Copies of this chain bind each other. A is one copy, B any other.
Amino acid sequence: MLVVMRREATPTEIEAVKEKIRSLGFMPHEIPGVQRLAIGITGNRGRVSADHFLSLPGVVDAIPVSRPFKLVSREVKAEDTVVRVGRDSIGGHDLAVVAGPCSVESRSQILEVASMLKEMGVRFLRGGAFKPRSSPYSFQGLKLEGLEYLREAAEKTGLHTVTEVKDTETLPAVAAVSDILQVGARNMYNFSLLERLGELRKPVLLKRGFSATLEELLMSAEYIASKGNYDIILCERGIRTFETSTRNTLDLNAVPLTKKLSHLPIIVDPSHGTGAWDLVVPMALASIVAGADGLMIEVHPHPDEALSDGFQSLRPEKFRMLMDRLRELASFVQRGCPEEAGTVVQ
């Protein structure tokens, strides 16, 4: 249910509607629009009748929401959501590029990468510190040490950091360091983690599970939003199919379809989506033309020596070429793209 307020509704009228919602056992969510404010109603106490609200002062209408996802749907909010991170943003005019190694492997590695990326115009630095791996005997990341290095790299370069949250136990440590909290594909159904992220006030990068339907992805975003955190960035990263010649099948259909169903920004990770470094550039560019708000790319100075995912990581010179192509393409999709920053003086 969405309660639409009149443009000139007063704070008192708005508060009265929210109080009414709470009194019925539900939770109100203010959804500011360009024209007017709406108030979303969520909760699991069954249906609520529009009659409760239509007669309240300042209320224009009370509209049922047809989709199972509510707060993240276009029905509830027509304008695109822009997630702001410092002076940058994801979902705004500029295409956003998140780049960096799969894992933080050493202090020198992440400092070297960060410095190069900054110079190439990247604003968001990725790097895993807590790595969920299929085998308990594989490299699990540098953990707290990795977070330290990531923080140092960010401070030295001014880049914003994106790193994965593996579980609720390590969430506080990660949240203390990272600007954007990444939920990996394997955790997309980890509803307890999603709820905890919903209680924070930090942007969340939510990756699609490799066998999750788009509706399930949006329902997982709804878990976060239902707790009051609306700064959610979706990420398509490939799904699991019968085709084995690529690591995953990158589902770019998901990009325009998500844009139609939801107001949230969506970026694409062609590194995982293809699993092969030589497919990354064409699929990265295709993602942008399909309507993505940005990219997430694995870059490693020495892919052959990477502790994880080297085969799908771009070398810096290849990545620079991608950035150049991206700048050429940006105007075609009526977006901007950050310019090269020149050499960073450390």
Asked if A311 is at the interface of the complex by the 8 Å CB criterion, the answer is: no
Q: Which residues on B sit within 8 Å (CB–CB) of A260?
A: 278
In the complex, A35 has a CB within 8 A of chain B: no
Q: Quick one: given A136-B191, A253-B249, A282-B290, are A211 and B214 in contact (CB under 8 Å)? A: no
Tell me how many chains of this kind the complex includes.
Answer: 4
Contact A239 B243 (CB under 8 A): yes
Total A residues in contact with B, Cβ cutoff 8 Å: 72
* Distance in Å: Cβ of A214 to nearest Cβ of chain B: 5
What 9 pairs between A and B have smallest CB-CB spacing? Answer: A211-B211, A167-B192, A186-B189, A286-B290, A286-B286, A256-B282, A240-B242, A136-B226, A44-B137
For residue A134, CB closer than 8 A to chain B, the reply is: yes
The verdict on A42 contacting chain B, using a C-beta distance below 8 Å, is yes
- Across the interface, name the chain B residue whose C-beta is closest to A45: B137
Cβ–Cβ contact B245 & A242, under 8 A: no
Question: Within A251-292, which residues are at the interface with B (CB < 8 Å)?
Answer: 251-253, 255-257, 260, 273-274, 276, 278-279, 282-283, 285-291
A151 at the interface (CB under 8 A from B): no
Give A205 Cβ to nearest chain B Cβ, in Å.
18
Q: Report if A222 contacts B (CB, 8 A).
A: yes
B246 touching A249, Cβ below 8 Å: no
Contact B253 A283 (CB under 8 A): yes
Point out the residue from B139, B223, B241, B283 that lies within 8 Å of A252, measured CB to CB.
B283
